Structure 1
Amino acid sequence: MPKSRPQAATTARKVLQHVSPPPFADTLPVPVYFRTEHLPSHARYPTMRHPWGEFVYSFSGITEVTAGEEYFLAPPHMGLWIAPGTEHVGFNHAETVHCSVYISRELCSAMPAQTCAMMVSPLVRSMLDHLRALPPAGHDGSESPARARLLRVLVDLLSTCATTGSYLPHADNSELNAVLQVFHGNPADNRPLAELAAAFHMSERTLMRHAQRELGMSLTEWRARLRLVSALPLLQAGRSVESVALDLGYATSSAFIAMFRRLTGTSPGKFVARPANHQVSE
């Protein structure tokens, strides 16, 4: 079910200043094309609709895409799949380094039919790192046979990745959406579910049922993901782990580190210690 686009995403489309044009208009020069791009803060692409599929993976920063009325967000350890023919706009608030894998329509039969977030396996991450280190292909698609074979293997592996819809989904249900907006405004809100439900004239059971049906996960998991997304730009800006943990409502930095490691596979310290051009999760 399509999820409502948040007000922040709508506003972002109006105020972001740096526009990055797409490299191709109507046709791909090769069946699979790989490129990387370093975007400044507050960057956006123009509205696009292309006949090929696109897989986007952020090495650093957070990838955001709106497609129709749907809003997709993925932190660095995840990717986004944009199905062929989907009108979309990509943008980012903080500085971002990402790659795009353009896949011709005839090779997309095993890929998801709809735009979605994707769980990226360690092998796929390693391949993306390796491709990034190789000399880039030209706009005419010229590249070595070995690189072309590697890209075809990458497509096969991407088709096996688990999908999650949006990493931080939004709700159509007005009662649940009101609760989510409270968390968006204050990710550090630590009220128990029963207290939150009562504040919005619901039972705890009703709130839990709304979350599972609308979000596909518990409200506790959704709140942890929101805190992760909120933490990433703060950590990348040089804030200490302890101060970020306290600002996000954690009583101790160890509790925050445990959440961060569970959701990303690495610690905050290792995440921010890498150079921006190599910052991917382990």
Structure 2
Amino acid sequence: MPKPRKNAKSSAPRHAPHLRQPPFIDTLPVPVYFRTEHMPSHATYPSMCHPWGEFVYSFSGITELTTRDDYFLAPPHMALWIAPGTEHVGFNHAETVHCSVYIKRELCAALPAQTCAVMVSPLVRAMLEHLRSLPPEGEDGLESPTRARLLRVLVDQLGTCATTGSYLPQGNDPELDAVLKVFHDNPADNRPLAELAAAFHMSERTLMRHAQRELGMSLTEWRARLRLVSALPLLQAGRSVESVALDLGYATSSAFIAMFRRLTGTSPGKFIARPANHQVSG
């Protein structure tokens, strides 16, 4: 598990044109509440710290979150878990469709004690899709008995999902941060690790050790995840697989597709064509 990043720099837009208000402030109307939200580009929520847990799943677009200590993001078909009592700000740069499952603290015992990214299981994904297709809750905010029972089962299943500190973790080391900034600024940078390490006056072995210690993964894996996150909004905007692959530094589209399939379990074309990517009103 990567270490928390102290005093994490927020990537939230400073002057987001779309400020969205949370549906609840102090209490939940029911033990488990589900809702779907369509977020326009450059949208954000105010800083919040609620006593319940919140599970956020991205149907399309990239959902981002900052806490006092860390930065998280969820690409499509991944999720974030916000532990009860966590001060956080949720936001997105590009248009996003996500759902939130609000869970009373008393029901969160089997869920992570800390905020983290969640690797959603096929069963949980199917349940979320089904809940999304059901009519919304009543005007009084109460869930129907059938929907309420399904939500309790969903909470049980969320406790079985694998977690990761952050899908694209950040470091807490100035030397590594400088290297990561190179990739953030230009995901297509294809320099070998030895050359990149030399540019920052360290050995390849030292750079690899910094990455494993701070990120919880190799720098090669981190760079592939960054390229995936960079590719998703381009593909969803209608760019061809070949042009996106070239823009991200891949010599061939087949190499890009292989990376995409390894990280998502499917091809770019099938991933973008999933029904989950259609928009819904908030």
Q: TM-score, normalised by structure 2?
A: 0.95
Is 1:98 the counterpart of 2:98? The answer is yes
Is 1:135 the counterpart of 2:129? The answer is no
Is 1:177 the counterpart of 2:177? The answer is yes
Which residue does 1:227 correspond to in 2? 227
Counterpart pick for 2:5 among 3, 8, 20: 3
Which residue does 2:56 correspond to in 1? 56
Deviations 1:219-240 (A, max 9, x none): 0000000000000111111111
Q: CA RMSD in A?
A: 1.5
Q: Which runs of 5+ in 2 are unaligned?
A: none
Distance 1:49 1:235 in 2: 34
Deviations 1:245-282 (A, max 9, x none): 00000010011011111111121111223456448xxx
* Residues 254 and 128 of structure 1, relative CA distance in 2, 3 Å threshold: same
Distance 2:46 2:139 in 1: 19
Residue 13 of structure 1: how far off its partner (Å): 3.2
Structural mapping, 1:23-62, within 5 Å: 23-62=23-62
Q: Secondary structure at the residue paired with 2:234?
A: helix
Assess if the C-alpha contact under 8 Å between 1:4 and 1:170 holds in 2.
Answer: no
Structural mapping, 1:85-234, within 5 Å: 85-138=85-138, 140-234=140-234
Distance 2:93 2:22 in 1: 19
Residue 127 of structure 1: how far off its partner (Å): 0.3
Distance 2:276 2:112 in 1: 30
Assess if the C-alpha contact under 8 Å between 2:8 and 2:68 holds in 1.
Answer: no
Residue 77 of structure 1: how far off its partner (Å): 2.2
Distance 1:221 1:253 in 2: 19
Assess if the C-alpha contact under 8 Å between 1:4 and 1:71 holds in 2.
Answer: no
Code of the aligned partner of 1:3: R
Residue 135 of structure 1: how far off its partner (Å): 0.6
Deviations 1:56-76 (A, max 9, x none): 001000010001131101101
* Residues 143 and 179 of structure 1, relative CA distance in 2, 3 Å threshold: same
* Residues 4 and 176 of structure 1, relative CA distance in 2, 3 Å threshold: same
Residue 139 of structure 1: how far off its partner (Å): 5.6
Q: Report percent identity of matched pairs.
A: 82
The farther-off stretch of 138-147 and 62-71 is: 138-147
Q: TM-score, normalised by structure 1?
A: 0.95
Q: Secondary structure at the residue paired with 1:130?
A: helix
* Pairs aligned (count): 277
Assess if the C-alpha contact under 8 Å between 2:67 and 2:87 holds in 1.
Answer: yes
Residue 169 of structure 1: how far off its partner (Å): 0.5
Which residue does 2:273 correspond to in 1? 273
Code of the aligned partner of 1:70: D
Residue 146 of structure 1: how far off its partner (Å): 1.6
Assess if the C-alpha contact under 8 Å between 1:5 and 1:66 holds in 2.
Answer: no
Distance 1:26 1:199 in 2: 51
Distance 1:224 1:139 in 2: 45
* Residues 29 and 41 of structure 1, relative CA distance in 2, 3 Å threshold: same
Q: Secondary structure at the residue paired with 2:13?
A: helix
Distance 1:261 1:138 in 2: 40
Code of the aligned partner of 1:106: E
Deviations 1:116-153 (A, max 9, x none): 00000011000000000001113633232221111011
Distance 1:122 1:274 in 2: 14
Assess if the C-alpha contact under 8 Å between 2:6 and 2:68 holds in 1.
Answer: no
Which residue does 2:242 correspond to in 1? 242
Deviations 1:16-61 (A, max 9, x none): 1101100011000110000001010000011111110000001000
Q: Which runs of 5+ in 1 are unaligned?
A: none
